Amino acid sequence: MDLGRGGRFAPWTFGQPAPKCAAMGTFSKMHGLGNDFVVIDARAAPVPMTEARARAIADRHTGIGCDQLIVIGPSERADVGMRIFNADGSEVAACGNATRCVPLFVGHGVTIETQAGLLDAQLSGDGASVDMGAPRFDWDAIPLAYAMDTLSMPASWEDLPPPAAVNVGNPHVIFFVDNLDAVDSARLGALIETDPLFPERVNVNFAQIIDPHHIRLIVWERGAGLTRACGTGACATAVAAVRRGLAQGPVTVSLPGGDLVIDWAPGGTIHMTGPATFVFSGEADWESF
């Protein structure tokens, strides 16, 4: 699988300057373990997306409402292309829960072009199984502001233990704690996300090892806050646990919204399996956002 990492990302057709979009467009509301998405079909007609428009659509009071906005469009390298926007309007390279929704949205297994590379997603049970590619561990691939060991970072916040850092298409920092319920994840997540150590901000994972094949996890997602589930967070946490000798794949990662199964061995790619759910479909006037 060509991950396309380390080089310049080739934009998709729908990411290029395009004619003004049609007044009305279709969308689906979907979720993966409660991490919810507005999925826009831009394969036939372009839907130009800006930070302001994405933020307006994601607003739960005046828009449609979602954790992330997903735009599905054509690709010259894969079956479809996927762009991902957080609720604050920022565009990100990867979202594991959204990736599982794509084959359900399309109706069959697909290869997906993302800013993180090419991903393969196949329908599986009530969801999908996704090859998320190989994790990266170099400090400048996370990225961090300066060189350091990413397996046990010589940095911490308050009484948290030294974390690990992993890039799985987006940056994650993982804290392994003894008692997950005692962690003020909302306050600490907001504090750590914007720390200058992380020049592109960071997703913050608080994890508790239950046994070598089971991890509890809470994720503060950059640009979205506390979320019921984070697929890339589950991937990054399982990878960090295996690297530290705390776990062995396959690992069940239990999030507030439910469980994901992550399988990874050093030198390989990450395989994530879990549910994806269609909620409803609708039409919207994108020019009104």
**Hey, which residues are catalytic here?**
95, 230
Collect all residues with Cβ–Cβ distance below 8 Å to 33 and sequence separation of at least 6.
Answer: 97, 228, 229, 255, 257, 258, 259, 260, 274, 275
- With the C-alpha atoms ordered 263, 207, 213, 231, is the resulting torsion angle positive or negative? negative
Residue environment code for 155-171, b if the CB has 16+ CB neighbours within 10 A, otherwise e: beeeebeebbbbbbbbb
Q: Fill in the amino acid letter for 87.
A: A
Place of tokens 């009484």: 159
The helix/strand/coil state of 115 is coil
* Token digits of residue 104: 């359900």
Angle, helices 96-106 vs 231-243, to 10°: value is 130
Residue closest to 19 by CA, chosen among 44, 41, 40: 44
Task: Return the DSSP state at 195.
Answer: -
Do the Cβ atoms of 274 and 127 come closer than 8 Å? Answer: yes
